[in-house]
Amino acid sequence: MNKIFIRRNTLFVNKYPFNKKNTSFFFIIDNKLTYFFNKNFSFLNFNRIKYNTYVLEKGENDKSISTFKKILKNMLVNDIDRKSIVVSLGGGVCGDISGFVSSVFLRGVKLIHIPSTLLSQIDSSIGGKNGINYFTKNIIGTFYKPKAIYISLYFIKRLSLFIYLCGYSEIIKISIINNKELFDYINVNYRYIKKRKYKVLKNIVKNSIISKLEITSRDIYEKNNRVKLNFGHTYAHAIEKYFKYNISHGEAVWLGIRFAIYYSLYFKYTNYKNVIPILDILYKFKCFNLYKISKLNFKKIKKYIFLDKKNINNKLSFIFFNNIGKVSIKKINYFKIKRIFFDFKKKMFII
């Protein structure tokens, strides 16, 4: 299991493994956090600890083979070896590319995550999945656990409202799958969540992580139960690709959950009574660009849906909603998705 540390303010990073003089570090950093790095990791120079950095600047488009090759070249030039530690400092994109690089470079070097967004803290840094995009989302990847994850709520306080709300798409997802108590807690504490109260944030982050670990620890390689974590993601990944990744992952998941809810109603895996609380909480934590979404074109998006990793013989393992805390995995073919897609587009904001 990962060693996960949750802190309120700054990371106090000099108290952790970064002060080892006999270890070299390779930092992969989101360009928005270069100032934070220069300020909080200045002790590396003071203590003469060997380190190198690579800064990501393209967002989701950095999850590419070209960026992967550039990072590998940088690591080779700077003599990174098997005793070195790769450190990701940033959101989900940074964590994904860092995890993939760490897992394949010299057949695996140690990895530490410092996730800087709510979404990456409760989801993408947990469970050991990582990857890069090639034609579609995360089609190339490995399972590789980090040595440690350092979570600071300092970052959450400084997120824009939109990026902050995007994190709740994944929190709502995990609560729908297997944690009704977390779902109810989010509903009851909505006012304090909007104000980003520390105690409430800590409880939400901690319980979201526990919920995800309960699933991933029993199914590391996504053979059975872990597939449920893809609830809402079939549609989400397709629209991310459709918009050339110029849409937030949380925004896409928000829409993907509605997509899954509508399909669950259509195929009678649930009823409106069970769906109403989901629609209510999605409205509270809405994060989407209505203008962009109104431009969706199924003729273009359909091919991305079936580039999904779960597509086997033109059938997808689709996660249907039953009730809060319970979902089910069923096979669904392309023609069924196509038949009701247009109806969903008309009703996705009113169901």
Q: Given the residues 113, 145, 222, 309, select the one marked as catalytic.
A: 222
- Please report, for residues 44, 57, 269, 320, 331, the alpha-carbon distance to residue 240 in angstroms, rounded to integers and kept in the order given: 38, 18, 27, 21, 23
- Please report, for residues 30, 88, 97, 147, the alpha-carbon distance to residue 110 in angstroms, rounded to integers and kept in the order given: 19, 11, 14, 6
Asked if 90 and 56 touch (Cβ cutoff 8 Å), the reply is yes
Query: How far apart (Å, rounded) are the C-alpha atoms in residues 316 and 205?
Result: 31
**Known catalytic residue: 249?**
yes
Query: How far apart (Å, rounded) are the C-alpha atoms in residues 62 and 32?
Result: 14
Query: How far apart (Å, rounded) are the C-alpha atoms in residues 119 and 121?
Result: 6
Q: 10 Å Cβ neighbour count for 83? A: 11
**Known catalytic residue: 237?**
yes
Q: Given the residues 15, 107, 244, 299, select the one marked as catalytic.
A: 107
Query: How far apart (Å, rounded) are the C-alpha atoms in residues 123 and 38?
Result: 26
**Known catalytic residue: 230?**
yes
**Known catalytic residue: 273?**
no
**Is 334 strand, coil or helix?**
helix
Q: What is the DSSP code string of 217-254?
A: TT-TTSSSGGGGGGTTHHHHHHHHHHTTT-S-HHHHHH
Q: Given the residues 228, 237, 241, 309, select the one marked as catalytic.
A: 237
Q: Given the residues 113, 137, 212, 258, select the one marked as catalytic.
A: 212
**Known catalytic residue: 113?**
no
Q: Given the residues 2, 60, 137, 170, select the one marked as catalytic.
A: 170
Asked if 58 and 93 touch (Cβ cutoff 8 Å), the reply is no
**Kind of pairing between the strands at 148-152 and 311-312:** unpaired
Q: What is the DSSP code string of 159-216?
A: S-HHHHHHHHHHHHHHHHHH-HHHHHHHHHTHHHHHTT-HHHHHHHHHHHHHHHHHHH
Q: Given the residues 2, 40, 60, 129, select the one marked as catalytic.
A: 129
**Known catalytic residue: 158?**
no
Q: What is the DSSP code string of 249-270?
A: HHHHHHHHHHHHHHHHHHTTSS
- Which of the residues are catalytic? 107, 129, 170, 212, 222, 226, 230, 233, 237, 249
